[in-house]
């Protein structure tokens, strides 16, 4: 327990994509090797958690067969686990990937479907210590940006997340293992995303740790008119706004920059 007068320093989750589009050769050996070097760099830069994903969740992306996803992520999880004690998160919606990852020592499941897939809630509930991030998405990744609509985006996301929390609690999970996430960019317009960022404290006040992923997302590109490689400063601005409203974890491609921004924000808040 932290002392009553101290805030917890928010944590940085570094993104590790193990997908062929991240690698020029598409071969597994090179992919695994490159992924491990990337993971080591993020650890050196001060990441608290590495989020390993084998299925691209970008708008319009195709789904990946189970065996292919296992072949991508399992060797990387096992090798990182063998090399260091960093927290490992697995970005997956498949119960079988969750089960195998937990068996080799993953610490967190990051599921953009919030454990609504077949068997995934039972799988995570059956492990007694793994954390889970429950993210909001409207629709499915392939079609979510076609015509996002809400009457009250903040209220609807709050309701959805509390329903998923309730399902987890009813399955026997302790509340401190649950994280909630508004799912910035997942079935939302720029205006929806901006309102969620502005009102993020309504989520952090629900009593669960809040994870936010804004890194390089298209709302930044649309506001700044910049390509995906030019969105670092815009991403940092959103990360600072999230931390200032009580976010516990920031998911990012740019670990070193985000660690500095969070430390300064935290120093002011403290």
Interface residue list for ligand 8Y4 (CB under 6 A): 53, 57-58, 91, 110, 112, 133, 135, 181, 183-184, 211, 213, 216-217, 228, 251
The smaller minimum CB distance to ligand 8Y4, of residues 247 and 259, is found at 247
Burial of 232 (0-12, 13-18, 19+ CB in 10 A): middle
Q: Are 257 and 244 in contact (CB under 8 A)?
A: no
Distance in angstroms (rounded) separating the CA atoms of residues 92 and 40:
21
Q: Nearest approach, Cβ of 205 to ligand 8Y4 (angstroms)? A: 19
- List the catalytic residue out of 217, 222, 231, 263: 217
Closest distance to ligand 8Y4 from the beta carbon of 200 (Å): 12
* Nearest CB to ligand 8Y4, comparing residues 73 and 135: 135
Closer residue to ligand 8Y4 in complex, CB, 80/216: 216
DSSP string, 130-174: -EEEEE--SS-TTTTTSS---SSHHHHHHHHHHHHHHHHHHTT--
Q: Residue count of the chain, please give it.
A: 270
Residues 150, 154, 155, 156, CA torsion sign: positive
Min CB(134)–ligand 8Y4 separation in Å: 9
Q: How far apart are CA 18 and CA 31, in angstroms?
A: 7
- What is the C-alpha separation between 17 and 245, in angstroms, rounded? 28
β strands within 124-204, DSSP E? 131-135, 178-181
- Residue 217 falls in the annotated catalytic set: yes
Instruction: Give me the least distance between CB of 159 and ligand 8Y4, in Å please.
Output: 18
Choice between 83 and 116, CB closer to ligand 8Y4 = 116
**99 among known catalytic residues:** no
The catalytic residue positions are 217, 251
């Amino acid at each position: 327990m932290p002392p009553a007068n101290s805030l917890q320093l928010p944590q940085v989750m570094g993104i590790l994509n193990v997908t062929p589009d991240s690698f020029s050769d598409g071969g597994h050996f090179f992919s695994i090797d490159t992924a491990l070097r990337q993971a080591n760099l993020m650890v050196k830069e001060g990441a608290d958690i590495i989020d390993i994903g084998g299925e691209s969740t970008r708008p319009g992306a195709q789904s990946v067969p189970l065996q292919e996803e296992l072949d991508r992520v399992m060797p990387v999880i096992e090798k990182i686990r063998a090399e260091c004690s960093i927290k490992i998160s697995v970005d997956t919606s498949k119960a079988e990937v969750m089960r195998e990852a937990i068996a080799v020592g993953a610490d967190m499941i990051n599921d953009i479907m919030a454990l609504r897939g077949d068997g995934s809630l039972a799988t995570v509930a059956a492990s007694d210590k793994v954390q889970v991030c429950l993210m909001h998405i409207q629709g499915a990744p392939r079609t979510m940006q076609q015509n996002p609509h809400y009457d009250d985006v903040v209220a609807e996301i709050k309701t959805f997340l509390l329903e998923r929390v309730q399902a987890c609690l009813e399955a026997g999970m302790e509340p401190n293992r649950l994280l909630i996430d508004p799912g910035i960019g997942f079935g939302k317009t720029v205006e929806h995303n901006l309102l969620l960022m502005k009102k993020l404290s309504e989520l952090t006040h629900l009593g669960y740790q809040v994870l936010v992923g804004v890194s390089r997302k298209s709302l930044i590109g649309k506001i700044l008119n910049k390509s995906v490689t030019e969105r670092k400063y815009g991403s940092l601005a959103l990360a600072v706004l999230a931390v200032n409203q009580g976010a516990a974890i920031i998911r990012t491609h740019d670990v070193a920059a985000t660690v500095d921004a969070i430390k300064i924000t935290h120093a002011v808040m403290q």
